[in-house]
């Protein structure tokens, strides 16, 4: 027999796809009516035009038919301004301490911060960021990317997403692509307009992305830093002292020489260096012979100078593997390189926990 109680218990298992919380906990379920095995109810969405309304409807119908409903009628509405303000306050209390500090920055938050940096542009830093993030997500980790390259944001385009973050009052819900949560200045500019800000505004927006974004429970947050040693890199070092860094270079000696500065800055700001990733390390056609188009040794020279290791050598993609997307298939030669890197990072994290 269907009752309000077992209906609510079933719907406790249905989550808002963006907030990752039960629709019952969020008070989105109202006015339940039962007529034999037919159930009707109101579903109050966080905003009008919720992009995942169809997903919520499908999950509700599936949950209720699983407890014996023959048919389900849903009427959708949206929260009042006051309800949204209360929800935002509740989300913020989960994300921020009483002193205004993001809880994810606390030492015991469980979030691993990895800043991906380089000495210069054009070495594939963002490609490394998104493919490492996707590889970690494929291995079952909850992963986010903060595109901290405010001037040169590229993450939305590289991950081929045209979505925008859902805004609930002043709280942003990250866009999800390839299983990874994304936040980028690229979501807030029109028609690829440039961002022309100085230091204080850069700091404000990076902090905004941490404080006013509902990241939920993350295992890893990757920060795609701008190349070089400018304001953003300095601010991130101050805001997230526990972050570890990956230095990206190509094999070319000039690129690795410039990347030394980014590594020395990481050391100066007390960021641990996870290692050096050598991108575009070689090209390997189907005959299996490696061709070192940019020479050899640059990454190892950089690692030696920074007293760290080369943790990955990422080859050029074969033509058949490059489908136009910057996220590589996990079974491709490039995808396998990032899977191996993700596995190594997870292993090192687990080893540190055991110690």
Q: pLDDT tens digit string along 234-245? A: 888 888 889 999
Proportion of the chain above pLDDT 90, given as a percent: 48
Strand partners, 116: 224, 246
Q: Nearest CA to 262 among 118, 159, 113, 80?
A: 118
Mean pLDDT for 203-224 is 87
List, as own/partner pairs, every contact residues 182-185 make where C-beta atoms lie below 8 angstroms and the sequence separation is at least 24, other chains included: 182/144, 182/145, 182/147, 182/155, 182/156, 183/144, 183/145, 183/146, 183/147, 183/209, 183/213, 184/145, 184/146, 184/147, 184/153, 184/155, 184/156, 185/147, 185/150, 185/153
Q: How confident is the model at residue 198 (pLDDT cuts 50, 70, 90)?
A: low
Q: How confident is the model at residue 197 (pLDDT cuts 50, 70, 90)?
A: low
Instruction: List helix spans (H) across the chain.
Output: 4-11, 53-65, 81-95, 125-138, 155-158, 199-211, 231-239, 253-268, 298-306, 333-354
pLDDT at 89: 85
Spans of all domains in the chain: 4-79, 103-354
pLDDT at 199: 58
Q: How confident is the model at residue 163 (pLDDT cuts 50, 70, 90)?
A: confident
Q: Which residues of 144-180 are buried (b: 16+ CB within 10 A; e: fewer)?
A: bbbbbbbebbbbbebbebeeebbebbebbbbbbbbeb
Q: Check: CB of residue 239 under 8 Å from CB of residue 210.
A: yes
CB atoms within 10 A of CB 4: 13
Mean pLDDT for 255-269 is 87
Q: How confident is the model at residue 228 (pLDDT cuts 50, 70, 90)?
A: confident
Proportion of the chain above pLDDT 70, given as a percent: 92
Mean pLDDT for 59-69 is 94
How many angstroms separate the CA atoms of 5 and 124, rounded? 54
Q: What is the CATH number of domain 103-354?
A: 3.40.50.300
pTM of structure: 0.85
pLDDT at 286: 76
How many angstroms separate the CA atoms of 153 and 201, rounded? 16
Range scoring the smallest mean pLDDT among 40-54, 187-201, 303-317: 187-201
How many angstroms separate the CA atoms of 113 and 241, rounded? 9
Residues 6+ apart with CB under 8 A from 280: 123, 124, 250, 251, 293, 294, 314, 315, 316
Q: Check: CB of residue 38 under 8 Å from CB of residue 73.
A: yes
Is the model's pLDDT at 339 over the cut of 90? yes
pLDDT at 192: 64
Range scoring the smallest mean pLDDT among 4-13, 137-146, 263-272, 337-346: 263-272
Q: Check: CB of residue 174 under 8 Å from CB of residue 213.
A: yes
Mean pLDDT for 151-177 is 87
CATH H-level, domain 4-79: superfamily: Fe-S cluster assembly (FSCA) (3.30.300.130)
């Amino acid at each position: 027999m269907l009752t309000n109680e077992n209906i609510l218990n079933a719907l406790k298992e249905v989550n808002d796809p963006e907030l990752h919380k039960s629709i019952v906990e969020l008070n989105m379920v109202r006015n339940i009516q039962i007529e034999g095995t037919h159930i009707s109810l109101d579903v109050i969405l966080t905003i009008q035009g919720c992009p995942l309304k169809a997903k919520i409807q499908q999950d509700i119908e599936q949950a209720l038919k699983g407890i014996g409903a023959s048919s389900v009628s849903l009427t959708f509405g949206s929260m009042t301004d006051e309800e949204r303000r209360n929800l935002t306050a509740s989300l913020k209390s989960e994300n921020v301490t009483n002193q205004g500090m993001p809880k994810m920055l606390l030492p015991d938050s469980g979030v691993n911060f990895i800043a991906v940096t380089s000495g210069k542009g054009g070495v594939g830093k963002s490609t490394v960021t998104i493919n490492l993030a996707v590889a970690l997500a494929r291995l079952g980790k909850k992963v986010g990317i903060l595109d901290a390259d405010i001037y040169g944001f590229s993450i939305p385009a590289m991950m081929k997403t045209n979505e925008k973050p859902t805004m609930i009052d002043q709280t942003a819900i990250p866009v999800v692509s390839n299983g990874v949560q994304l936040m980028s200045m690229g979501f807030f500019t029109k028609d690829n307009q440039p961002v022309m800000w100085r230091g204080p505004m850069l700091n404000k927006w990076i902090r905004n992305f941490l404080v006013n974004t509902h990241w939920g429970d993350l295992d890893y947050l990757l920060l795609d830093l701008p190349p070089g040693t400018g304001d953003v890199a300095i601010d991130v070092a101050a805001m997230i002292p526990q972050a570890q860094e990956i230095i990206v270079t190509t094999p070319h000696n000039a690129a690795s020489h410039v990347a030394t500065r980014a590594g020395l800055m990481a050391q100066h700001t007390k960021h641990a260096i996870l290692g050096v990733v050598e991108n575009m390390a070689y090209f390997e056609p189907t005959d299996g012979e490696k061709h070192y188009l940019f020479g050899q040794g640059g990454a190892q020279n950089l690692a030696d100078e920074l007293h760290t290791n080369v943790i990955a050598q990422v080859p050029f993609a074969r033509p058949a593997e490059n489908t136009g997307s910057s996220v590589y298939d996990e079974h491709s030669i490039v995808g396998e390189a990032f899977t191996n890197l993700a596995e190594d990072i997870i292993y090192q994290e687990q080893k540190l926990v055991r110690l």
